[in-house]
Structure 1
Amino acid sequence: MQKRRGQKMKKRILKKVLAGAIVLTLIWSSMLPAAADSAEYARIFEQVMERIEQDYTGNISRQELFEAAMKGMFQSLDEYSEFFTQEQAREFERSIDKKFEGIGIQFRRENNIFVVTKLIAGGSAEEGGVLPGDILLGADGVSFADMTTTEEVANKILGEKGTYVLLEVKRGRQTLSFRLERRTLQLLTAEQIAWNRLALTLPADMNPQAVLYVALTSFGSDTAAELKAIMDKAENKAAKVMVLDLRDNGGGYVHSAIEIAQMLVPKGRIVSFRDNQGEEEIYYSELTQAPYRKIIVLVNKNTASASEILAGALKDSGIGLLIGERTYGKGVAQEVLNINGGQYSFKLTFKDFFTPKGTPVQKVGIAPDILAETPDYIISDRRFFIGDENEAIKKAEDILRYLGYFQETPDNKYEANTLPAVLAFQKASGLGEYPVIDFSTQNALNTALRAKLSQQDQVLERAAAESVKLLK
């Protein structure tokens, strides 16, 4: 069963969907159990609540019991479904719109730990000395070890402007603490970046006015309007190619990604959603002519969710050329539901989504047309000797290759062919030369990678080179 959605249904598209989030208001009575078994569970739950209130020797309120029970319920679901208090819901929405009071970090979940990926200019984290690659351990004495979502961690870091948070991170073998001020940070989710502001080696025959470079950091409520304002500027009307940077964009509202796709993708399918009953909902673009000859899309392993909706639509339509790494692979959508007039809310995974050609995204991601990889930082609590096998060894070899010390294909094994590169890097970094990838060497590799990335963006340089070819 299919439902067509095009421009006539635009108002319906504008429901808030958080890759996805349809914000609805429910009354508790509408969620009462319908089946006898559900009613029995509800009765047992009420009995347990009453018994705890009557006999428990500690101090705990019915509200605290209810919230703990709800959080426990959602922990049994997938990693994207989550229960919110009213304040947590507000913080979550502000984080999507990039309007929040925090310390200015972006981070991702990787192998059950939370890793800093980017520092926001003007934030106290950058000024205080937090670095990309740092592992987040806890805040104000609360450990992140048992937390499973980035929202849980963010809720501990965000807070009222002018207050401080004691952030604990791990860097190599060191555990570091930073007392950081929460500040009001309001960032544009769509930003045009002038080529002359970038540390790039541009092709000699490139006309910067013909190539519009825009970075999208999230898909918030205003992102489509922000992008349209950039596209409508008089000085940008001459652009023939757009470079659209979706690297490290973890997603946001589905309606925002769909609106933007309808601004860029020629007439045709944008995305399809499928629920657990097999019912399909399809969204379309009615654009008669694309605004650019080509749209070069920059993606990496942190490009996720709503970003993958847009990237998939651009790629499958033929207007997009993807450069970078395979995307994250979050091909499921969540709806956000308000309970009891907004006192509580939750986001629940309710649909899978597919690219215009019907390709699934969940757990596989979207492959780039041109592979251009950027190494990850090394995250490890051990040293490595020749003969060892570990994922961190591949990361070390990736960095050595990126820096020009290693010419072979990186893998998880530390073998003799890697040793000359390790020794050469250690010598160049002022370290003792020894056949161990120890913590000093790992830290030096991470530091060298940060410096290289701040001086040169090889993926963007590749995009500039491809744009010149497209303009000929």
Structure 2
Amino acid sequence: MTFKKGPAVGYLVTLVMGFALAFSASVLADRHNSENRGLPVDEMRMLAEVIDRIKTAYVEEVDDRELIENAIKGMLTGLDPHSDFLPPEAFADLQESTTGQFGGLGIEVTMEDGFVRVVSPIDDTPAFRAGIQAGDLITKLDDTPVQGLSLSEAVELMRGEPGSSITLTVVREGQANPFELTIERAVIRVTSVRSRMLEPGFASVRISSFQQNTAADVVREINRLREEANGELRGLVLDLRNNPGGLLSASVDVSDIFLSDKLVVYTESRIPNNSFRYQSRRQTLLPDLNLVVLINGGSASASEIVAGALQDHKRAVIMGTQSFGKGSVQTIMPLSQDSTALKLTTARYFTPSGTSIQGTGITPDILVDQGSFTAQEVRLSREADLQGALQNGQAAADDAVDNADDGRLRDQDYQMYEALNMLKGLAILKP
């Protein structure tokens, strides 16, 4: 087959080559290694020929802009599950999500084998209340199959007017058949930090996502807990379960609350001057408070940065199950046309000990699966049961321990119950 360079092909070659040159110049302008500067002219001609064939022979007429955007999406989605092309609507949605308010279902997702994989539902959102779980695969959005969509296209379909509904077809490990969940969309207002006293002297702070103000919110909640404990806060559970991540800077700031003058995370990139080391400050709020961090398979990205830093510096005991394993950094690169942008994976991040968690995740120091607990009391004879046993001789204590609250925590959240037990042990060993 002969390649005939007609006017349309010549125009498209110029267009595609111009786009590639502009992109190469903006991202790699300061690269000193020249061996990769040349563009594959034959392959660019092939791309232009494919576009020309589509324009002239496809069964329906296709807009030039749509073709070029599809070519860009294909380039990016073929790289990894997190790189993507962001049209104006998706770019605006991404900017909204980092400030803590946006419209939709309330789930963090990624692409896996052509399907949408749920990284984590966000607390107190429609998806959370409907029973969506970390690890679920979404195969259809209403009547639209997910396969063939980009991540941004799938996310766009899940968003919509508050009050409108969407039906998700879900495949879940352990269930033989797919099932459907109909969820009503809502305005998602993410409260990223919550706290509570578990029992006197011991508290938990839950972070559901890392946003601009997360570290300041954590400090506020810890100060409130210390007041509630009359200054006798003896231990804290930092709950990062089902936290899909968020802003890298926020994860560094949260780590800084517990680490003094320590390396938190570092990144390695192919772009010169784009590899960074993030350090905690010398003065920190809680350098010594007994700390347990809870993670699970829905803990990803920024959550893993915090858990990895605290684990490497032996600042906290990490409990729960293996984390998600997203150890890559995405950079948002605004483009010059129509408020569009690229979300491009530009670096890997490493824990302070030099461990990359990409694809493997953080391994807990103590593995605790979430499950139900069934108590079984075995009554053995004691000294007081023996005939003629001596009496104690002291008055019985008036402040007998009431284990009712402890039992409720155990039944409702077994991982948190075990984290509390660990804190009690740490408080005994290190008051």
1:208-251 CA deviation, whole Å, 9 max, x = no partner? Answer: xx223111111122212222222333625542322111111121
Q: Which amino acid aligns with 2:94?
A: F
- 1:161 and 2:162 are equivalent in the alignment: yes
> What TM-score, normalized to structure 1?
0.66
CA distance in 1, matches of 2:246, 2:125: 23
CA distance in 1, matches of 2:333, 2:23: 11
1:340 counterpart SS class: coil
1:235 to 206, 214, 227: 227
- 1:366 and 2:362 are equivalent in the alignment: yes
**In structure 1, what is the equivalent of residue 11 of structure 2?**
none
- Distance change in 2, residues 1:232/1:165 (3 Å): same
1:79 counterpart SS class: coil
CA distance in 1, matches of 2:330, 2:344: 5
Unaligned runs of 5+ in 2: 1-18, 30-36, 376-407
**In structure 2, what is the equivalent of residue 323 of structure 1?**
319
Q: Which amino acid aligns with 2:93?
A: E
CA shift at 1:362, angstroms? 1.6
The higher radius of gyration belongs to 2
CA distance in 2, matches of 1:98, 1:454: 31
**In structure 1, what is the equivalent of residue 82 of structure 2?**
80
CA distance in 1, matches of 2:111, 2:333: 24
The question of whether the paired residues in 1 share the 8 Å contact of 2:126 and 2:186 is answered with yes
Q: Which amino acid aligns with 1:460?
A: M
1:226 to 214, 217, 224: 217
**In structure 2, what is the equivalent of residue 353 of structure 1?**
349
CA shift at 1:155, angstroms? 2.6
1:106-143 CA deviation, whole Å, 9 max, x = no partner? Answer: 667677653586475362773xx555486533113111
The question of whether the paired residues in 2 share the 8 Å contact of 1:116 and 1:136 is answered with no
**In structure 2, what is the equivalent of residue 181 of structure 1?**
184
The question of whether the paired residues in 2 share the 8 Å contact of 1:116 and 1:135 is answered with no
1:263 to 233, 250, 257: 257
CA shift at 1:468, angstroms? 1.5
Q: Which amino acid aligns with 2:164?
A: T
- Distance change in 2, residues 1:358/1:83 (3 Å): same
The question of whether the paired residues in 2 share the 8 Å contact of 1:101 and 1:185 is answered with yes
1:255-286 CA deviation, whole Å, 9 max, x = no partner? Answer: 11111112221212111111237975211112
1:245 to 216, 239, 259: 239
**In structure 2, what is the equivalent of residue 193 of structure 1?**
196
Q: Spell out the pairing of 1:23-62 with structure 2 (5 A cutoff).
A: 30-31=22-23, 35-38=37-40, 41-42=43-44, 45-46=47-48, 48-49=50-51, 52-53=54-55, 56-62=58-64
1:330-380 CA deviation, whole Å, 9 max, x = no partner? Answer: 2221111111156221222221211112222122222212111237xxxxx
**In structure 1, what is the equivalent of residue 384 of structure 2?**
none
- 1:216 and 2:212 are equivalent in the alignment: no
2:325 counterpart SS class: coil
The question of whether the paired residues in 2 share the 8 Å contact of 1:305 and 1:329 is answered with yes
Report % sequence identity: 26
1:301 to 297, 300, 315: 297
Q: Which amino acid aligns with 1:214?
A: V
- Distance change in 2, residues 1:300/1:173 (3 Å): closer
- Distance change in 2, residues 1:270/1:163 (3 Å): same
1:65-92 CA deviation, whole Å, 9 max, x = no partner? Answer: 1111111111220122111111112223
1:288 counterpart SS class: coil
The total of aligned residue pairs comes to: 359
1:296 counterpart SS class: strand
1:153 counterpart SS class: helix
Q: Which amino acid aligns with 1:266?
A: S
CA distance in 1, matches of 2:254, 2:324: 20
| Larger RCO, structure (CA 8 Å, separation 6 or more) | 1
**In structure 2, what is the equivalent of residue 384 of structure 1?**
none
- The range that moved more, 231-240 or 268-277, is 231-240
CA distance in 1, matches of 2:234, 2:318: 17
**In structure 2, what is the equivalent of residue 314 of structure 1?**
310
1:333 to 329, 334, 337: 329
The question of whether the paired residues in 1 share the 8 Å contact of 2:210 and 2:245 is answered with yes
1:374 counterpart SS class: coil
- Distance change in 2, residues 1:272/1:131 (3 Å): closer
CA distance in 2, matches of 1:309, 1:122: 25
CA distance in 2, matches of 1:211, 1:359: 31
> What TM-score, normalized to structure 2?
0.72
The question of whether the paired residues in 2 share the 8 Å contact of 1:74 and 1:82 is answered with yes
**In structure 2, what is the equivalent of residue 10 of structure 1?**
none
1:58 counterpart SS class: coil
- Distance change in 2, residues 1:327/1:123 (3 Å): closer
**In structure 2, what is the equivalent of residue 282 of structure 1?**
277
The question of whether the paired residues in 1 share the 8 Å contact of 2:120 and 2:298 is answered with no
- 1:470 and 2:426 are equivalent in the alignment: yes
Instruction: Provide the aligned C-alpha RMSD in A.
Output: 3.5
Unaligned runs of 5+ in 1: 1-26, 196-205, 376-401, 406-451
The question of whether the paired residues in 2 share the 8 Å contact of 1:79 and 1:148 is answered with no
CA distance in 2, matches of 1:117, 1:404: 28
**In structure 1, what is the equivalent of residue 392 of structure 2?**
none
1:273 to 267, 272, 286: 267
CA distance in 2, matches of 1:293, 1:333: 30
